[in-house]
Chains A and B, each alone.
Chain A
Amino acid sequence: MTDLKELEKLAPQVRRDIVRMVHDAKSGHPGGSLGCVEFFVALYFNIMKLGGVNFKMDGKGEDMFFLSNGHISPVWYSVLARKGYFPVAELATFRKLNSRLQGHPATHEGLPGIRVASGSLGQGMSVALGAALSKKLNNDTSLVYSLHGDGELQEGQIWEAAMFAAANKVDNLISTIDLNGQQIDGPTSEVLDMGDIAAKFKAFGWDVLSMDGANMENVVETLQKAKTHTGKGKPVVIIMHTIMGNGVDYMMHTHKWHGVAPNDEELDRALGQLPETIGDY
Chain B
Amino acid sequence: METTELQVSSMEKKYTYTEKKDTRSGFGAGLLEAGKANPEVVALCADLTGSLKMDAFKKEFPERFFQVGIAEANMMGVAAGLAIGGKVPFTGTFANFSTGRVYDQIRQSIAYSEKNVKICASHAGLTLGEDGATHQILEDIGMMRMLPNMVVINPCDYNQTKQATLAIAKYYGPVYLRFGRPAWPVFTDPNEEFVIGKAQQMLSGTDITIIACGHMVWNAVQAAEELAKAGVSVDLINMHTIKPLDAKAVISSVAKTRCVLTAEEHQRNGGLGEAVAHVLALADPVPMEIVAVEDVFGESGTPAELLVKYGLDSSDIVKKAQKLLSRKTAGN
Contacts and interface: CB of A to CB of B under 8 A. Distances in A.
Interface string B58-77: 00000110101101011111
B84 A115 contact: yes
Contact of B86 (A118, A129, A134): A134
B78 interface: yes
Interface in A92-147: 106-108, 115-120, 122-135, 137-138
B81 A132 contact: yes
Nearest to A140: B85
Interface residues of A, number: 39
Contact of A58 (B86, B108, B109): B86
A164 interface: yes
A133 B114 contact: no
Interface string B207-232: 00000000000000000000000000
Interface in A32-82: 57-60, 64, 66
B77 A125 contact: yes
B115 interface: yes
A221 interface: no
Candidate in B64, B85, B104, B114 with the most chain A CB atoms within 10 angstroms:
B85
B112 interface: yes
A55 to B, nearest CB: 12
Given A123-B109, A157-B105, A161-B74, A131 B82 contact: yes
Nearest to A162: B74
A126 B86 contact: no
A209 interface: no
Interface residues of B, number: 32
The majority secondary structure among interface residues of chain B is helix
A131 B86 CA distance: 9
Contact of B76 (A118, A126, A138): A126
B288 interface: no
B9 to A, nearest CB: 55
A164 B69 contact: yes
Residue among A59, A128, A131, A135 facing the most chain B CB atoms (10 A cut-off): A131
Contacts of B42: 137
Interface in B100-146: 104-105, 107-109, 112-115
11 contacts: A106-B112, A106-B113, A107-B112, A116-B84, A133-B78, A133-B85, A134-B84, A134-B85, A137-B85, A138-B85, A156-B73
